[in-house]
Structure 1
């Protein structure tokens, strides 16, 4: 065994005393001479004393064990740098020499290329070397890396869910001969394809090293164990509880999320659950790796009956990270009575997700005690507690009737957030109380949350009438965009409220397109009350430059008059400088089936300069052709011959085929193959490639085989292949 200072000997002796020796195959290993590492000082691992590996361990931390921090990164760096890294550098520079043979006479020495593997190897503690009589040494220099994200479902590997990552193992076999190092084999393999579990991923990464495995069969399992446990994967079900816990806890310190995910899932499989891991698990509540924080939350929920775990989670509830606070609230929901005050504080958290988690947790309290406890909390000196209690009562609906007196008192609370929570709680259970209106009015004017905006205005309307809320809605039109949408969604239901229709009509002449759009949309619900809008619409719609506003204005005009009366406006819109408006005009005309003059108005749009307006026009013409089939058909033929727009050409050919037949389009497609526009020739080839079974299609597309452009010839060959493809 490679030995360092006296300190190294002492360390190895301590480890040997603490860990029962593995009973597996014996090989030598380069082991650390000082305490082993952690990558983050906040994670801890139980190392003294280890529970017996032959009996069921006592639950941590209820026994006398202590949580000892893993050694510092500085300690690891010193050990690795002094004991192993110099050898690693020599081995990496080994000369390749394939004429040397690895035989069973060589003593194997595992050399980890990284500090992480160095630590894992030390915990696994492989035994004394074999076959050392000739003094020959074969170094196995090994490393691993993570790669593509993998997931497991129904025992099949697929690259979609963030469950783990593939493992790539790099293993070199280096022989030492008279002070010189010769690399005789190097294997790099990735375990992924064909694997069904994380364990298989590691096994498949190690197994290609056939010569080594043949001579030293034990080496396969040992290398798999070292690399696998570094990845947080349980590679040996028979390994003692204490070592598993130490290895999985160490996996939680990895900078790679997949290692941490596998490690925390492996801890979840330990029986019994190690309460000593609670500190690590609380740390993982802030882990952004896929699913890690959720697994940690589930484990802590199972451990929460332990007083020390409860205290750790309670401390986490004060974390600056809102995600950790939300996890803590969910976990404490398993002890709602004990955590009542903490949960109340979280129920007024600045983050809405934390609030919701806390309130759901509070609801799990003993039913007979819940309302009385919340009523008492309404009088707490802490405004946050008062707010949380009122907010939770708001979620309890009719169950909270007995809290009405206490909630009413809070309507005059010095804290705005408390007044708001009390007023909202009273909305559904004290609907005749007009004292709520001034508070909700104050709240409403500052509201930026869309759902609460609607709830507050509805509550005021239920108590004081919609007339009371109309001025508030008018004021809110200039608010942020989220609540502006809510204003108009509410105004759609204000029919019969004096002034509502007049207000919306006045917005039709606003300089702001958003207001014109939403006002026209809302007025469609007002029937005869919106009649005064018609003259304004006739004046503004034809020159409207916003497509959303234009669409709603036209629809409102149709509601207030008729399609015939809107036809001149649509004709004017087809000359609008905004192509978006022209597209909408074409689309609307597609609903004018049977309206005299609609086809005539739409035909010029076939020659529009926009890329897609002609296609919109073509599609709409198909909808309103009626008795004018011949007129439309000829117009489409003329447009198809004239266009240089491939999108227009494609839609026009399709429309001609629909009104007539594919055979009728063949002359046009043949003409198109002589077009001066390359993209039209290409489009013609593509269309002909869909004409399987149409007589004459192959002959026509064959003409393009002699085109001067390579791309057209290729398109022609592709079309012919499609036409000749067997069913």
Structure 2
């Protein structure tokens, strides 16, 4: 074709014959003609070859520069690559930014930075190393014996384990040295300093006991300063020593709680002033003293109190009366927490104050026990405090904090107070339910029997919580009580029992669960079907096939999923019929299950399901066909499967053969599918996609329009210029359209009027 055009053009310049021309002249001119033709042909071929070489060099340059950057593996190398190749493939650019972030994270080397990287790049190639470094950085930051022991236990094969062992030995040795010095000095300040420094280590409890003996003398001196507070009226205020930093605000009919904390190290040998004095307004639990005004729950009081002295004061105008007082080793002395509350309320009741005030008092009294961080005590005390707050506190904010505290406790020391709360008939259903769930989170054999017993509680909410909790415990001896609970009069209890039996997976539950498929409540039937799938007993196949005709779509869906888990070929025909169910969630579940069973009879119905109205059904059908090995070597059929699976990256790898089916899918009803198709067509860069993508600029979905604009810029076809300029009127994706226009034209305008005027001028020039 090219040679013919050249011949025609050469004859235009050199005609074969001029009038009056002799043969010699004609032959000379013919030689020029041939020479010109050869020069032009060679020139065109050289230009074409140069273009091909430049394109290949460009691709080769990107790959070689990327390999070089990876080899150097530095922030500077990756940044240089990004500056040199701003239009490199998206995947490479993404990796470059990720590696820059990883290098900077390692350089900073703090737990916070590793957490931030993990959140920003959850699928990163460096995820495992990031988690290892996070654990190591956390251990180094704490720099305690327990922190290093935990790291060594959790990461025995880590490259940091040997260093952790060295630091563990170093910290342990330092602690023993400090302990010997503390014992030798036997002074309040040295023991207090040791406790603050090694608050989570095993020696601290012994230091606490030694410190208590020394602190008792100081404590008794403090008590003398408050004896006169038993007076009433204004003299009571004036009798408070000035060095107590006490702020007492009398309110009409309000209970105030005065609590003194004696911390380790707060009292020096020369001074006997208390470090902290707190007053609570019982009406709202608001702190009127020196701590934060929102310290209303036990979770906020994280001091290491050694001894507590407290008085409960009732104020009415200028009248102040002492309701009661109590002392103790933060609840760890001879008087237990329950004793403190009980004895205080004996005095409280004698005053004849309204009963509703008791609710205000009890949650605050819990704080007097302190929150010891000493091994073996912290968890139990926290559980007791949170349980009392949950049971008695009048405000939901208090209860919410207590609930959070209880659900986070996983220490066996909390079992006893949680069982007490679960069995407390006076507590509300919510509190007892939280106790049940909290017990389930603790790995201790003592939790099973109380939860089983709670299945017979009078309150249905407690029975339901117990049944749910046994799902987590998974104790075999809970199976029979849960089977009995399948006949409970409350549907919520039956639901929870059915679900828990599925998690325990005991075969003796199969027959009772089959019977539960006929329960009058659809939610019970649904969970019974689910649990039968978890147990995977073949005897459940026929009942589950029957459940495919249930009136509730969620029951039918659950039955279809369970049949797939059991993987019995007898269910295939029923699942094929379920592919035509009126509910798309049932059709989707049927397709997924046939992929699990892998029976060849399902291929034809699944192929038909690729035309389903629901993109979710089509996706599940495609995934099932892939598992069945449906013509995986046939490119056209593979493309169809990939499109329905929404695997756009694989479609892009296939390239040109994927273009036609992708264009056909650009009219899919699902906007997410249309977005993915528009993206894939832009990456493939086939000119056939230009017109369909121009039409997609008018799609009703913003995301589709945006992807179409970006893809047109990647293809760089001049046909897209005018449609993209028109698209600038819609400011929602002005940025994408402008970028694409710059890619196609090489012009650098930012607004619609600029592009519009430029385009009009160009059209006039073309017409001239």
Whether TM-score is above 0.5 comes out as: no
* Higher helix residue share: 2
Shorter-normalised TM-score: what interval? 0.3 to 0.5
* Higher strand residue share: 1
What is the TM-score normalised by the length of structure 1? Answer: 0.43
What is the TM-score normalised by the length of structure 2? Answer: 0.41
